[in-house]
Amino acid sequence: MRAWWATALVPALAVGGWLIGRVPPWWYPPCLFHEFTGLHCPGCGSARALHAVVHGDFGAVLGYNALVAAVLPLLAAWAAVAWWRGVRHDAPPWVPPYGWALVALVVVVGFGVLRNLPWSPFDRLAPSARIEAARQPFE
């Protein structure tokens, strides 16, 4: 059964990537956290960053969400190992060790704090200028 799920994951990711690549960025909804608070959450710009990944615009990925640019290769490697272990009928590493989850939580919260600081170089982590440009495609 694990091999079936592991193998079904590959076309599901391909279809998801195709959909992200087909939907124009100006159709993406705004971040509600940003709309209500004026602050950028750690995920602000991540959908647009994934759209840029699908189109191969890696400079835009850094501009939208640098955390996505840093974490995506790690997630891809982890998914490849999980897929391979699932196909081989080993126990897939779906749950990371407790220490990794704690480190990930600290990194995500830290990124959320740093991207809202108004000083250079932290102000470059905020995606607002790129997102506003993506919302106005016909100008």
Predicted local confidence at residue 121, as pLDDT: 85
pLDDT of residue 40: 92
Percentage of residues of the chain with pLDDT beyond 90: 24
Report the C-alpha gap between 52 and 60 in whole angstroms: 6
Q: Give the global pTM.
A: 0.78
Residue 139 — pLDDT band, cuts 50, 70, 90?
Answer: very low
DSSP code per residue over 47-93: HHHHHHHHTT-HHHHHHH-HHHHHHHHHHHHHHHHHHHHHHTTSPP-
Q: Please tell me whether the peptide bond between 29 and the residue prior to it is cis, using omega within 30 degrees of 0.
A: no
> What DSSP state is assigned to residue 126?
-
Give per-residue pLDDT as tens, 14-57. 898 898 889 888 788 888 998 899 899 999 888 889 999 999 88
Tokens of 125: 């982590």
Q: Which residue has the higher pLDDT, 75 or 128?
A: 75
pLDDT for 21: 87
What phi-psi label fits residue 66: left (phi over 0), alpha (psi between -120 and 50 degrees) or beta? alpha
Higher-pLDDT residue of 97, 43: 43
